Structure 1
């Protein structure tokens, strides 16, 4: 091989060895995709313009045995998810204290201390307090578990449901077909609809109109 050709071959080999690895295939990329953490956003979330920016703080009440770090992180992941209230044009930012509302991880026995209508069995929203029952956060509910749904999806659902009340939405019902509205009391059952942790398009649209 002539000398110039040998030099060219060596350069080409060196460049090939230094090149970055090829981009993963679509299936492989999806397999490695993760849920965004606090402060991050997914590209899909930006498909809906931000119409309302709200801040919230996180606190506890009673004896908490669940990880508060995990609670903070997974709640923020729910708020940032493009299928959550972000689809209603709402952007959530956690602050150290105060904020527009307070997200509370509460021991089950403390729920009635927020209001007489709050039960030790369920989560609740009272004024500026979005209260997540630690019993439900850690174990979901009998109806949810009987349907074979995951605790992680229950956490999405309960945060979306109680925050939906803070956003101004009341309880919804289902006629026994399709996905249940997130504002339905799915902890108690769905009446034949499919358990669903995310707002339906109509629910997201209702928040956008507010």
Structure 2
């Protein structure tokens, strides 16, 4: 007996079930295809989180990563970046300039004992011509000036290449006794008294020539002259050259030879220069005698 054909309604139902059965596997294959398409389009990042996997576990090739340089791994925590404060530049401290020492003020006693100490010194004669003139040096007692030191300085003054001895105007020799003339250095009051014996008024300021030699005012020896453009040590050359000039026979004083010219050693420069330049020597550097008009 042949099988009965299924009713039309039942056949329709079975046909739909078979149709659903064939479509089922199609739905299950859809997700893998979608993943592969996503990877192909550069969606590796989505697959990295799919089912807990990393990008390196994916079966599909991932895009080549940009090469980076990895920093060395340390156990220490990475410090937070901080803004470095600029370090102060090292500077070398400039030494403070030392204050210039205040020059010691030279004080000159107005008067002294009135007695003198003779320098116990002697030397060879200096000079190349003329008669020999022996001299001794005395310094008033009680003042801060060495007789020996003063004698040595006067000896150097007379031997200077611009002085009298170097130009045939006389020969001079330092001795301690049997002198032809004496050079005394005295306080202003004592100098005034010695000069007054010759009828000269030195006003406590000036030097003079006496019958037995030269009197040098200690004030001028130590301080120089307010009209002289030079140190006191240079002015001492003028004192000796002027007074010894009288000793060798130059009796008269000279005046200024002209504005801007050097004053003669035989000019009383302390009384004014009258346009001349102060000068301590009888001769200039070329050996020419510095002269001027006779005034007294």
- Tell me the CA shift for residue 82 of structure 1: 2.0
Equivalent residues of 2:132, 2:170 under 8 A apart: yes
TM-score (norm 1): 0.68
* Counterparts in 2 of 1:196 and 1:123: CA distance versus 1, 3 Å: same
SS of residue paired to 2:266: coil
Unpaired runs of at least 5, structure 2: 1-121, 292-296
Higher helix share: 1
Q: 1:171 aligns with which of 236, 253, 272?
A: 253
Equivalent residues of 1:105, 1:131 under 8 A apart: yes
Distance 1:66 1:56 in 2: 19
1:54-203 equivalent positions in 2, closer than 5 A: 54-61=133-140, 63-86=142-165, 87-116=167-196, 117-119=200-202, 120-144=204-228, 147=229, 149-169=230-250, 170-174=252-256, 175-200=258-283, 201-202=288-289
**How big is each residue's C-alpha offset from its partner over 1:137-187, in whole Å with a ceiling of 9 and x where there is no partner?**
00001111xx3x111110111111111112221211013341110010112
SS of residue paired to 2:149: helix
**RMSD, aligned α-carbons:** 2.2
Q: How many residues align?
A: 159
**How big is each residue's C-alpha offset from its partner over 1:114-157, in whole Å with a ceiling of 9 and x where there is no partner?**
2321411111111122111111000001111xx3x111110111
Equivalent residues of 2:137, 2:150 under 8 A apart: no
TM-score (norm 2): 0.49
Larger radius of gyration: 2
Equivalent residues of 1:61, 1:106 under 8 A apart: yes
Distance 2:191 2:161 in 1: 30
Equivalent residues of 1:118, 1:124 under 8 A apart: no
SS of residue paired to 1:143: coil
Distance 2:290 2:178 in 1: 27
- Tell me the CA shift for residue 99 of structure 1: 0.9
Unpaired runs of at least 5, structure 1: 1-37, 205-210
